[in-house]
Amino acid sequence: MNWSKSAAVRESCATPDACATDPQQTLYERLHHFAGGGWILILLLVLVAGFWIARPAQFGSTYNLTMLAVNAAILLVLSVGQTYVIVSAGIDLSVGAVLVFSSVASAQTMLWLSGEPAGTFGTTSGGWGVIAAGLLVAVASGAAWGALNGALVALVRIPALIVTLGSLGMALGLAQVLTGGVDVRAVPDLLVTQVGNGTLLGIPMLVVIAALVAIVAAIALHLTRFGLQVFAVGSNAEAARRSGIRLRRRIVSVYMLSGMLAGLAAMMSIARFSTTTINGHAMDNLSTISAVVLGGTSLFGGVGTMMGTVIGVFIPIVLLNGFVILGIPPFWQTVAMGAVLILAVWIDQIKRRVRQG
Amino acid sequence: MRNTRHAYRMAATVAAVLLTATPAFAADQSVALVLGVKGSPFYQALACGAKAKARELGLQLTVSAPDQFAADSQIPVVNAVAATRPAVAAVVPTDTQALIEPLRQLHQRGTRVITVDQTINDTSFVASRIQTDNEAGGRLAADAMNTLLGGKGKVLTITQPPGSAAQDAREAGFRAELKRFPGIVYLGPQYQSDDPQKAAEIVTSTLSAHPDLAGIFATNDQGAIGTVTGLRQAGGIGRVKVVAYDAATAEVNALKNGSIQTLIAQTPKEEGEAAMQAAAAMMQGKPVDKVILTHIVTIKAGDTATADRYEYQGNCP
């Protein structure tokens, strides 16, 4: 039996018997499942087409489409981590705070290594070695917070909601302690010009990084044993444990992955904004969760796709961008985005129920 | 079958909504205003002043605002505005550093950039800066505090965390001017992050630590509301003198019922109007001042006429 398709098979089978006798899915079914298994992709295409038709020169300009991708990049990296956590039936509310902490730790390290005093403004002359050290610090601090989250969830058995809410407070508070509340304003010039604003073959570097992360994570989630175990843990943790999966190790590694990706996102944030943003990223946790859920991943775990998350990340960003371009008043934008979120998940639910008979 | 029909219906509705939305304006006629955050009385008043002036001058104005007063929330909005290529964009930058690149992109795409209320570190491409002298405002607050306290007592400041240029300047001006009054002991600033609840907690805690606290300076409307709440809970209304920045409706009411003793009012309506006037002048090719200062006013308790005149009017069509 082909394990790597187990989740897909469950998704598109009318009855278990039909699947047992016909394990070969058609190409259409496989593509359909790959595209988030629902109407989310169609919704995104409808939105993009709609805004494009309404404002072709503005929404459809190269500049705007590029900016959409760049604005999605950091959130996508965070959402990839969140996907793993939610598929394993957990939740990570601390992503934004871990990002802030990692960005602060990394920026201070890079500043110290470039030999500039603490209150410098602008950019420093730190080379790639300094940037590499900063990246290491960022990912390591993210991994540390992730390990803490995972240990408290898996070993001490505190609910993930509470643990990550607590680590949110601790990470944000420690970031403020480390800096006295003042953002680190001096980051290496190379980081800002080459990564934050640089391009590779015409594609912004941040988008390249986010795309690579998403592709690698998708392969790991859908085609490796690690990913399979994550699905199993989310589907039924007790059954997973009894079938030999090292449950606690898997849970800790999933949260560590989320933390490390938050650390990577922190470097991307520093590169993009050329400053740490201690007062920002406050809503990132909810944005990532809604992106993951929009993409078709179940909050109860065991079901989900990485492509769905990618689409889910783009929907709020496209909506905001389109609304601002159309000139819709800001308060109505808030109303509309909430409504679209509910509508999107509702349509997806209808479709799933129809398929399951 | 049924699901496909659903899809067509959904697509048709979305298309209909989008096509009947606001008509596309000519790129060289429009002015965009990006506020610091949604739902702030100060920025609402600024937007109202701008809208009224835009109507008067015949400008096509679009107003946008991010969900939070933070760079990562505002930059996607600025990017979207840049995509519409307005003739002039007036932006309240929420971060002195992070907004430099997005505003520079706006400028490179042919839009003239005005910064309103806050500013950025690199103003080489900014056509005009509209701001108030926040440091002078802080000094006015210190003078008012000195008068209220009769020259002695302990004083606390409730402000935003460091990094907001305007708030930092107000606190710096307050602190510098207080040095002239040897009888006043300055306890320093406490940070409330635009959360009245937190401000209230800070006030009650400080009163426990320093029961003889004589005065509080709140550097914005949210801090002021929280301060009044905290004082009410601790029974300190009237005993602890409050000097507050901004003249939102809640603060003016507090002034009238004696919870706040002095207001340092900005003139957001004037800032909005100045932004529109500068935009119109730019579009007509006329010269515009690099820095435009709007004034601030001290409103003392009992001066209801001035309070009503300077109250921030946020409700407008």
Which residue would you say has higher pLDDT here, B98 or A7?
Answer: B98
Tens-digit pLDDT profile for residues A174-198: 998 998 878 888 888 888 888 888 8
Domain holding B99, by residue range, is: 25-131+268-294
Q: Is A72 on the interface with B (CB under 8 A)?
A: no
CA torsion through residues A113, A118, A124, A125, sign: negative
Of B19, B64, B77, the CB nearest to A54: B19
**A326–B77: do the CB atoms touch at under 8 Å?**
no
**CB-CB neighbours of B120 under 10 Å:** 23
Contacts of residue B109 in chain A, CB cutoff 8 Å? Answer: 63
Q: Same domain, yes or no, for B121 and B139?
A: no
User: Chain B, 35-54: which have a CB under 8 Å from a chain A CB?
Assistant: 35, 38-39
At B39, list the tokens: 């739902």
| Partners of residue B7 in chain A, C-beta under 8 Å | 39, 42
pLDDT in tens, A44-85: 999 999 999 999 888 989 899 999 999 999 999 999 999 999
User: For chain B, what is the largest distance between any 2 Cα atoms, rounded to a whole number of angstroms?
Assistant: 83
Cβ separation B72–A273 shorter than 8 A: yes
Please give the mean pLDDT across all residues of chain A.
86
Could you tell me the CATH number of the domain that includes residue B226?
Answer: 3.40.50.2300
Looking at residue A78, its amino acid is L
The answer to whether B98 contacts A71, with C-beta atoms less than 8 Å apart, is no
| Domain match, B156 and B44 both | no
Per residue in A315-336, pLDDT tens? 989 999 999 999 888 888 888 8
User: What is the predicted pLDDT for the residue at A5?
Assistant: 46
CA A145 to CA A138: how far, in whole Å? 11
B38 lies in the same domain as B151: no
pLDDT in tens, A147-173: 999 999 999 999 999 999 999 999 999
Please count the structural domains in chain B: 2
Give residue A7's pLDDT band: very low, low, confident or very high (50, 70, 90). Answer: very low
The answer to whether the Cβ–Cβ distance between A54 and B14 falls below 8 Å is no
Prediction pTM value = 0.83
* Domain stop point among B219, B249, B265: B265
Alpha helices in chain B (DSSP H): 2-19, 41-57, 71-83, 100-108, 134-149, 165-178, 196-209, 221-234, 249-256, 268-283, 304-310
Nearest-angstrom CA–CA distance, A80 and A163: 20
Residue B2 placed within a domain:
no
What is the arithmetic mean of pLDDT over A251-267?
96
Please answer yes or no on whether A329 and B69 come within 8 Å at the CB atom: no
Of A204, A173, A194, A187, which Cα lies nearest the Cα of A74? A204
* Distance (Å) from the alpha carbon of B162 to chain A's nearest alpha carbon: 5
CA dihedral A123, A127, A132, A133 (to 10 degrees): -80
Which residues are CB-contacts of A215 (< 8 A; sequence separation ≥ 6)? none
CA distance A230 to chain B (A): 31
For chain A, say whether B100 makes contact (Cβ under 8 Å). Answer: yes
Dump pLDDT digits (tens) for A107-127: 999 988 887 776 666 677 778
What is the CB-side half-sphere exposure of residue B31 using CA atoms within 13 A? 26
In this structure, of A19-28, A90-99, A184-193, A298-307, the range with the lowest mean pLDDT score is: A19-28
B12 lies in some domain: no
What residues of chain B lie within 8 A of the CB of A185, using their CB? 97
φ, ψ at A53 (rounded to 5°)? -65, -40
Taking only residues 135 to 154 of chain A, the set having a beta carbon closer than 8 angstroms to any beta carbon of chain B reads none
The residues, ordered by sequence, that sit 6+ positions from A326 with a Cβ below 8 Å of its Cβ are A51, A54, A55, B18, B21, B22
- Pure H helices in chain A: 6-12, 16-21, 27-34, 40-54, 56-59, 62-87, 95-113, 128-154, 160-179, 189-190, 205-223, 225-235, 237-242, 247-273, 284-294, 306-326, 330-355
Q: Which of residues 105-134 of B touch A (CB under 8 A)?
A: 109, 121
Q: How far is CA B168 from CA A76, A103, B69, B73, B226, in A?
A: 34, 23, 15, 21, 19
Give me the residues of B, 239-298, that contact A with CB < 8 A: none
- Location of structure tokens 């969140």: A82
**Is residue A247 helix, strand or coil?**
helix
With a cut of 70, list the residues of chain B below it in pLDDT: 1-28, 163, 194
Considering the domain boundaries, does residue B19 fall inside one?
no
B228 with B250, same domain: the answer is yes
What is the DSSP code string of A56-95? HHHHTSHHHHHHHHHHHHHHHHHHHHHHHHHHTT---TTH
Interface residue A65 vs chain B (CB under 8 A)? no
- How far is the CA of B154 from the CAs of A249, B206, B207, B208, B234, in angstroms? 55, 11, 11, 13, 17
Residue B105 shares a structural domain with residue B172: no
B233 CB within 8 Å of a chain A CB: no
Q: How many residues does chain A have?
A: 357
Q: Note whether residue B43 is domain-resident.
A: yes
Residues B151 and B239 in one domain: yes
- What ipTM was assigned to the predicted interfaces of this complex? 0.81
pLDDT at A347 over 80: no
Q: Determine the distance in angstroms separating the CA of B159 from the nearest CA of chain A, rounded to an integer.
A: 12
Q: Of A42, A204, A179, A30, which is closest to residue A106 (Cα–Cα)?
A: A179
User: Domain-by-domain residue ranges, chain A?
Assistant: 1-34, 72-302
**Contact between A280 and B73 using a beta-carbon 8 Å cutoff:** yes
- What CA–CA distance (Å, rounded) separates A86 from A348? 18
Chain-chain contact of A328 with B22 (C-beta, under 8 angstroms): yes
CA of A229 vs chain B CAs: smallest distance (Å): 34
The confidence score (pLDDT) of residue B5 equals: 64
**From CA A167, how far away is CA A169, in angstroms rounded?**
5
- pLDDT value of residue B24: 44
Tell whether A357 lies on the interface with B, counting CB pairs under 8 A. Answer: no
**What percent of chain A has pLDDT above 90?**
53
Residue B51 lies in a domain: yes
B84 touches chain A (CB under 8 A): yes
| Residue A11's pLDDT band (cuts 50, 70, 90) | very low
B11, part of any domain: no
Q: What is the pLDDT of residues A15-33, one digit of tens each?
A: 444 444 444 556 666 655 5
Residues B180 and B109 in one domain: no
Q: Is residue B13 part of a domain?
A: no
- B21/A328 CB distance under 8 A: yes
pLDDT at position A39 is: 74
Q: In what order do the strands lie in the sheet with B153-159?
A: B184-191, B153-159, B213-218, B241-245, B262-265, B297-300
A55:B95 CB<8 A: no
Clarify whether residues B98 and B215 are in a common domain.
Answer: no
